[in-house]
Structure 1
Amino acid sequence: MSNLFFESAKLAPMADPPLITSGRAHLRLMLFKTMVSIALTIPVLIMAWADLLPREIAYGAASLVLATIVQVYIAGPWYFSAFKALFFSHLVEVDFLVVLSTSIAYIYSIIAYALMAYEKPLSTGSFFETSTLLVTLIMLGRLVTSLARQRAVESISIESLQPSIAILVDSESDSRNEIDARLMQYGDVFLVSPDSAIVTDGTVISGVSDVDESMITGEANFVAKKPGSPVVAGSINHSGSLTIRLNRLLGDNTIKSIGLMVDEAKSSKARFQDMADRVATYFVPIILVLTVIVFVVRVGVGIGIQDYSTTTACINAMTYAISALIVSCPCAIGLAVPMVLVIAGGVAAKNGVIFKSAETIEKARNISHVVFDKTGTLTQGLLTVERELYPTGEGTTLGPMILGLTSSSKHPVSSAIAAHMKSTVTKAAGLKKVTSIVGCGIEATWGEENIRAGNPYWLGVENLPAVTNILSLGVSIFCITVNGNLVAVYGLKDSLRPDTMYVINELRRRNIEISIISGDNEESVKSVSRTLDLPESHVRFQCSPAEKQTYIKEISTEKNVVMFCGDGTNDAVALAQASIGMHVNGGTDIAQSAADAVLIRPALGGVIVLIDLSKTFYRRVVFNFTWSFVYNTFAILLAAGAFPNARIPPQYAGLGEIVSVLPVIAIGVQLRWANFTNFKV
């Protein structure tokens, strides 16, 4: 019975990200209300404008009913929003303009209809079509805005790449079973067939294939995978089948991590957005004042120049005032930043860069100095042991201890030595009290012996002949002491990343200063700086985390925007100190949490991508603000009757919402097709 229960039990379908789900629900409601508004408005327009039999009382009654439904059901929430902001936040928002103008037209029409029913009609009659058409056009404008925003969010949602089904492999029976990916656990092994998406992060244990990681890292070329290679969720397996051991669950994998960082950036506010909010706060009161001025001026023109009666002049002036109220739309100001920010976040992610806040994408265009860590940043971090020396001649005896010590650390140097030792040592010795000391090395206890390993300056052995001989080779150096006595010296070599030279030259071409600051020894750091043709004044070596922070402080001024690129735990302080901290893929979680931006692709080209994207972001935001100013200036003048023989009737003023936001939407969406990786490595 229990087996039948578990076989029939199923998990609920995998939910979309909350931002997308709520956006779709809001869009469906907007679409429904817009359709209802259109359906109710069309009969009102026909009764007002068509050449029908003269049944004014009947048509007026029908128009009153339809206009009331529109005013209550469609425009009703605007009243709540407007008065909530007015009474609780003491703000006069755009909904207040809409509510005021539609209410004036609606209430005036009710009064006009009542007088007509008592056979005392006004010269203008009622115009229910004005309020209903106004509400409908505003709903259309907001529907277009919501649709564009939702499309933008969905187009850059990286969480949609998460597969929902996994093929689990039972190593004992060699059976394969499809399961919901959310049921996977640590240690599970799953199969990925050709042309299928990889379910979650893991390590290949069998099979050889090419994998397309472009949707995750922005890497255009396929990446070869073999046993031992890491794979990331959402990437596409192509040529062969891969058997993979799970490393990270769905709630913690690369897709989820990137999605959370993108959402964090989208929810943050840029300085531009604060400015837009302040402008919008003053915008509505200014429009109200201008509306009063328009009304007074039009009354004066009607009585003094056009020879209207006072009543006719006031009614005519009211139509101009309503037009001015509605056509002036701060919606473009409100969308100017968030529309571009949402799309910029997705574009950056698809190009291998994640920025954690809007402030980062805003500041990056002004970067004037980039400081790089060396190992794992400018270089690939794939160290190999070039030289090894055992001054006491006990290399074989000490092998298990050295393997046990270096295997306990994830630092690139320790990992390289551990990999080297595994070729000759079969079993690691058990160590106690293993402690990592940031920027220095490792301490541990081996039986009664005190073991220390790390850079020679921390250990105080930099002047010993065994150390100076290897230092002169220009390699990174790692020493081990037992009870203060030097027992092992390793010289390690690393190679530059393929795109390091391009990035350095591109930064130099843009007159951006470049520095290297590293905890490595002098010869190793200067060897890299000479290759990159950097002046010695911009090179620092043997630096502790505190010294890295001090250097960043020294070069940081109000006019100097400094970016620091690093990957290790010892870079966390410098990453936090810099104007923009850039974490390089493959580094530690501590470094990532301290950074403002993350390179999810193992390449430095993302530095250039972030700078270029920031400049593009700035240009588009400036365009949006400029357009909003030009539109509102011209629209208000047109609505107020400032141009001879040209005006905007109040019933059509609602079109202003669409006209004002369409260019903002278009300029934001166009960012999706901009090319930020047009360079050769």
Structure 2
Amino acid sequence: MSQKMSDSDSSLQKNALVAQTFAISGMTCSSCVNTIESKLNELPGVSASVNFASETVHVLGPSDLSPDEIIRQVKSAGYSATLLTDNSDPALHRKGAARALFFATLLAIPAVAISMVMSWHQPINDWLISLFEDYGIAQPPHADHLFVSWLVLAITTPLIVFVAWPIHRAAIRNIIHPTMDTLISLGSMSAYAWSIYATYTNEGDVYTEVAAGVLFFVILGRYLESRAKRNASSALSSLLALSAKEVSVVRAGVEVLIPISHLVIGDEFVVKPGGRIATDGIIISGQSSVDNSLITGESAPVEVSPGSRVIGSAMNNNGRIIVRATRIGSDTELARITAMVVTAQGSKAPIQKLADKIASIFVPVVTALSLATFGYWYFIADKSLSFSISTAITVLVIACPCALGLATPVALLVASGRGALRGIVIRNPQALEISQSIDVAVLDKTGTLTDGSMHIREVVIPVSAQKVLGSEFAGLLTEGKILSTALTLESQSDHPTAQAITAYALAHHATQLPVTEFTQTPGAGVAARVNVGPKSPVVLIGSPASIAHSCVEFDSQISEAISRAESNSQAVSVLAWDGVALAVFASGDQIKRDSATTIAALESRGITTWLLTGDNAESAASVAQQVGISTDRVLAQVLPEDKLAKVSSLQSAGHRVLMIGDGVNDAAALAAADLSIAMGTGTDVAISTADITVMRPALMGVIDALDLSKRTLSTIKGNLTWAFAYNVIGIPIAAVGFASPMYAAAAMAISSLFVVTHSLRIR
């Protein structure tokens, strides 16, 4: 039996999918994206998505697929790849871009200047002829009047052969799948080769300055583009820079400085005033205020005390605190945000599919069009060989798929990075398009419409209830033990009510106890067997209705406490040992100050709002009335499956539904909704399910997220419109001979820069 289970587990592990992100070098245009994706998708079970803007590839594949195999596959396509670790910042700029620009400027500027300034030709000719005569050196053919042409060729040769070699190399290795480098290489080499022929034979115009100018503008454009992309990624770099490197832990009462990688869950560490909190945890000693602005976008400091949860990398302002680590490494809030941002930047919006299809056939079509242009002018229109070649080169140079390839990913790069710094994390780029068609918003109550910072208002632990358990629990049924069992269970949950009970128990000196058989039921509560000494009762804590199913009849004092709390619109949790209810925790929170404003803003956009909550009807109606939700659009005491059913029902009626929630019981509805937004103060399950996460507690962040989506989508559409229009207008102008190759190179560089700088305007 155990062998069968082992084989099954092994099979499941083998079939599990894992995501990996790699930095890619060698890409120069969107055609490269298609080449790499096609090559990686040849691997069994692999789905790859290349982001041209961040020069990364996000690979989803079997768990037994090694990174080395991915890297080998990328190399076989003519590129190189490096696996990015959790805290790696993708290389968002081309290495050596500045060096290439320096040498391109050093060689191209003199070549272009000498070629273009006609008054320099004769003096330079005379000086060079006399110099050759003085040293007895044989002169090149036609040196008497073409010495300047040979000089310009000599200056341009290092630029063509050495500085531009990466472009030619990329063109050669992608000869089967042509890219933008193919166009640049063909254009510059054609102009250079023709110039040698024209200079040697003294037939036709010389276009050496065209070859130099084309390469100069291409290299300049890529350098400026890389700088702009680096600026676009600065938000992600800022997030990565927040990670602590060392932490001061308390070991046997002594503070010891250790690397952050050595920290384990349960370690207690010291955070001094002005220091950053090393990792997520719960305060066990001290009071202070913390600044979460760089993580959640919330500018106001948050007051913290024992029992308060804190986020790793937040700034501790004014008090010394001791924190118990609850999450480390890739499980922390900061790592989770960073991972979501990187994933979003490596994903594609649906609108990009059209651009990718066009880019995949763009270069071959342009190459054929260039040849057709040459054929028309030379063979049909009977133009000179020089003019025909110049026009064909112009078509090659002006046609640039870079703007097309950058249109979507750079906008997503900027939006996801800057959104993260404002507490808005876009996990799924599809949300950008869907957000514009939403007409119904379904909201949870606790932690969504309310601040989620629950506080215990009343605790009832009647002695009369304890007598039911009998003498075997004598000496164990103390308030401290009961609170310790509550702490043991609720400290495992991120729900606001659980956090309130945890904070209350810690403030009353409760301690963690050994626990086994822990289970959690969304919408109901948690259960476990807890060792309270010589006994290990089954401890339950959850809503009164769920606990009543597993308990004997409630003690009268407990029933009265439940009724009192519900009449005051408070959340009620009942704790039971071995089927006997022993304690009632009544907790309450406040409606967020901006909840009514947010509901009004949604309604003003034509979005109908619904309130779905697991709390009692009185509490739900009271909150709905205060925030402006119509009472006929309120459902109370709903289970997770009820929320899911309501979302599905609205969708079946033809509505596009936005679900906003924060708890485990919201996860199914979040997954089913057309667009889902999770509050960052909520549970991991909700956040990992949602399309967008609002990290700051203010509900108005939902409106900011919708506005950011609208601006980003508008920017993407503007970029694509420009990219299409540029090529639709530019290629015919080049084909009819109204532009020179050098002007075409400048236009090509400007088109890419326009897309990048236009994306940088997203705020």
Question: For this structure pair, what is the TM-score category when the shorter chain's length is used for normalisation?
Answer: 0.7 to 0.9
**Alpha-carbon shift at residue 157 of structure 1 (Å):** 2.1
Q: Does 1:276 align with 2:371?
A: no
Q: What is the identity percentage for the equivalent residue pairs of Structure 1 and Structure 2?
A: 28
3-state SS of 1:583 partner:
strand
Q: Which of the numbers 630, 645, 658 marks the counterpart of 1:550?
A: 645
Inter-CA distance 420–103: structure 2 relative to 1 (3 Å threshold): closer
Q: Over aligned residues, Cα RMSD in angstroms?
A: 3.7
Mean CA deviation greater in 502-511 or 63-72: 63-72
Provide the C-alpha distance between the structure 2 equivalents of 1:344 and 1:554, rounded to a whole number of angstroms: 33
Aligned to 1:618: 713
Aligned to 2:519: 435
Provide the C-alpha distance between the structure 1 equivalents of 2:204 and 2:498, rounded to a whole number of angstroms: 91
Inter-CA distance 277–178: structure 2 relative to 1 (3 Å threshold): same
Mean CA deviation greater in 409-418 or 493-502: 409-418
> C-alpha deviations, 1:588-615, integer Å up to 9, x for none?
2223222222222222222111100011
Aligned to 1:192: 272
**Alpha-carbon shift at residue 351 of structure 1 (Å):** 1.3
3-state SS of 1:334 partner:
helix
Provide the C-alpha distance between the structure 2 equivalents of 1:483 and 1:240, rounded to a whole number of angstroms: 42
Equivalenced residue count is 632
Provide the C-alpha distance between the structure 2 equivalents of 1:380 and 1:621, rounded to a whole number of angstroms: 35
Q: Does 1:499 align with 2:588?
A: no
Q: For residue 564 of structure 1, what is the amino acid of its counterpart?
A: M
Q: Which of the numbers 426, 431, 450 marks the counterpart of 1:379?
A: 450
Provide the C-alpha distance between the structure 2 equivalents of 1:346 and 1:235, rounded to a whole number of angstroms: 18
Q: For residue 257 of structure 1, what is the amino acid of its counterpart?
A: R
Aligned to 2:625: 530
Q: Which of the numbers 591, 604, 607 marks the counterpart of 2:702?
A: 607
Provide the C-alpha distance between the structure 2 equivalents of 1:227 and 1:422, rounded to a whole number of angstroms: 7
Q: Does 1:455 align with 2:543?
A: yes
Mean CA deviation greater in 367-376 or 554-563: 554-563
Q: For residue 348 of structure 1, what is the amino acid of its counterpart?
A: G
Q: Which of the numbers 560, 566, 584 marks the counterpart of 2:655?
A: 560
3-state SS of 1:354 partner:
strand
Conservation of the 8 A alpha-carbon contact between 1:507 and 1:513: yes
Q: What are the residue-to-residue correspondences of 1:151-170 with 2, within 5 Å?
A: 151-162=231-242, 166=246, 168=248
Provide the C-alpha distance between the structure 2 equivalents of 1:626 and 1:452, rounded to a whole number of angstroms: 59
Q: Which of the numbers 335, 341, 363 marks the counterpart of 1:262?
A: 341
Q: For residue 23 of structure 1, what is the amino acid of its counterpart?
A: L
Aligned to 2:102: 35
Aligned to 1:104: 190
TM-score by length of 1: 0.81
Q: What are the residue-to-residue correspondences of 1:36-435 with 2, within 5 Å?
A: 36-45=103-112, 48-49=115-116, 50-51=120-121, 52-53=124-125, 57=141, 59=147, 63-87=152-176, 91-113=177-199, 116=200, 120-124=201-205, 126-162=206-242, 166=246, 168=248, 181-182=260-261, 184=263, 187-194=267-274, 196-204=275-283, 208-239=287-318, 242=321, 244=323, 246-249=325-328, 252-299=331-378, 303=382, 313-386=384-457, 393-394=464-465, 397=477, 399=479, 400-401=481-482, 403-405=484-486, 407-409=488-490, 410=493, 411-417=495-501, 433-435=517-519
**Alpha-carbon shift at residue 382 of structure 1 (Å):** 3.5
3-state SS of 1:670 partner:
coil
Aligned to 2:43: none
Conservation of the 8 A alpha-carbon contact between 2:407 and 2:716: yes
Conservation of the 8 A alpha-carbon contact between 2:244 and 2:276: no
Aligned to 2:671: 576
Mean CA deviation greater in 485-494 or 94-103: 485-494
**Alpha-carbon shift at residue 587 of structure 1 (Å):** 2.4
Long gaps (5+) in structure 1: 1-14, 304-311, 675-681
3-state SS of 1:157 partner:
helix
Provide the C-alpha distance between the structure 1 equivalents of 2:261 and 2:514, rounded to a whole number of angstroms: 37
3-state SS of 2:760 partner:
helix
Conservation of the 8 A alpha-carbon contact between 1:158 and 1:258: no
Conservation of the 8 A alpha-carbon contact between 2:451 and 2:590: yes
Mean CA deviation greater in 474-483 or 102-111: 474-483
**Alpha-carbon shift at residue 659 of structure 1 (Å):** 1.9
Aligned to 1:477: 572
Inter-CA distance 600–541: structure 2 relative to 1 (3 Å threshold): same
**Alpha-carbon shift at residue 190 of structure 1 (Å):** 3.1
Inter-CA distance 497–275: structure 2 relative to 1 (3 Å threshold): same
TM-score by length of 2: 0.73
Provide the C-alpha distance between the structure 2 equivalents of 1:547 and 1:627, rounded to a whole number of angstroms: 47
Provide the C-alpha distance between the structure 2 equivalents of 1:300 and 1:328, rounded to a whole number of angstroms: 23
Conservation of the 8 A alpha-carbon contact between 2:677 and 2:692: yes
Provide the C-alpha distance between the structure 2 equivalents of 1:452 and 1:179, rounded to a whole number of angstroms: 38
Inter-CA distance 104–558: structure 2 relative to 1 (3 Å threshold): farther
Mean CA deviation greater in 42-51 or 457-466: 457-466
Conservation of the 8 A alpha-carbon contact between 1:188 and 1:245: yes
Inter-CA distance 472–107: structure 2 relative to 1 (3 Å threshold): same
Long gaps (5+) in structure 2: 1-84, 130-139, 468-476
Provide the C-alpha distance between the structure 1 equivalents of 2:584 and 2:373, rounded to a whole number of angstroms: 85
Conservation of the 8 A alpha-carbon contact between 1:521 and 1:542: yes
**Alpha-carbon shift at residue 655 of structure 1 (Å):** 0.6
Q: For residue 192 of structure 2, what is the amino acid of its counterpart?
A: Y
**Alpha-carbon shift at residue 170 of structure 1 (Å):** 5.7
